[in-house]
Amino acid sequence: MTTLPIRDDDRLFVLTGAGVSAESGLPTFRGADGLWRGHRVEEVASPAAWHRDPQMVWEFYSWRREVHRAVRPNPGHVALARLEQRLGERLFLCTQNVDSLHEQAGSKRVVHMHGRLLESRCDRCTRPPAEDARSYASLAEVPRCPCGGLWRPNIVWFGETPFHLDSILDALGRASLFLAVGTSGAVYPAASFAQAARQAGACTIYIGPEEPLNRHAFDECVLGESGKVLPELFPHD
């Protein structure tokens, strides 16, 4: 496959995962460098871990914020931002990533189903989440909300309900093309989106250097790094 033709009546659903940010220098979760101090993500990104040891979880996300400061979007992010300029609301960009690299590349309407690293909220009250780009690496304690609750990352941990599911399911039902990029297919419900889109009539394509665990849900698999494949599929004219 060289370029991916998009018809005037096509609606495109793009699901991105950690692989789309790998070429920017952010480690994937299940890759060789995906461990943090020997912990798998499942051991740190859960409400149980937060209740058991909020300081440890806070340090993990402080480290992630530090790493995030230095990274920049790669040609894969840029190709998707340009595609949004071309397709407008016919493109639905849903990311599992908590980084802001799609936005830094120029994407305007990014649906962060697993939340955002640079936002925090109270773990007790309903005060809305706040933009929070500060690094807490130097803080001795996890910050507190005025209500006394702990200030946690606005991120969806295992066992929590992903954000924006209503609009995601609506867009999946209306898509004619579904593209998953750089996601292993290990984490649900995102791993079920390809099958849902296909059942609703979409053609499904995967892009990444290796086949995902849910390969059976894709009509086609384009093996390669997204920073190279996406600009080829969607050349800038």
Instruction: Report which DSSP code applies to 127.
Output: P
Is 113 in contact with 146 (CB distance < 8 Å)?
no
125 touching Zn ion, by CB under 5 A: yes
Does an H or E element contain 62, and which? Answer: helix 54-69
Residue nearest to ligand BJW (CB): 19
Taking the least distance from each CB to ligand BJW, the nearer of 91 and 230 is 230
End-to-end CA distance of the chain: 18
Single out the catalytic residue among 68, 102, 112, 114. Answer: 114
Q: CA–CA distance from 147 to each of 142, 191, 214 (Å)? A: 14, 37, 43
Structure tokens at 69: 């400061």
Q: Please give the radius of gyration of the chain, using alpha carbons only, rounded to the nearest integer.
A: 18
With CB under 5 to 8 Å by kind, the binding choice for 212 among ligand BJW, Zn ion, none is ligand BJW
How many CB atoms are closer than 10 A to CB 205? 20
With CB under 5 to 8 Å by kind, the binding choice for 149 among Zn ion, ligand BJW, none is Zn ion
Helix (H, G, I), strand (E, B) or coil at 82: helix
145 touching Zn ion, by CB under 5 A: yes
Does an H or E element contain 87, and which? Answer: helix 75-87
Taking the least distance from each CB to Zn ion, the nearer of 109 and 127 is 127
Q: How far is the CB of 210 from ligand BJW (least distance, A)?
A: 4
Catalytic site includes residue 112: no
147 touching Zn ion, by CB under 5 A: yes
Taking the least distance from each CB to ligand BJW, the nearer of 28 and 62 is 28
Point out which residues bind ligand BJW (CB under 6 A): 17-20, 22-23, 28-31, 34, 41, 45, 96, 98, 114, 155-162, 165, 182-184, 186-189, 208-210, 212, 225-226
Q: How far is the CB of 45 from Zn ion (least distance, A)?
A: 21
Q: Which residues are catalytic?
A: 114
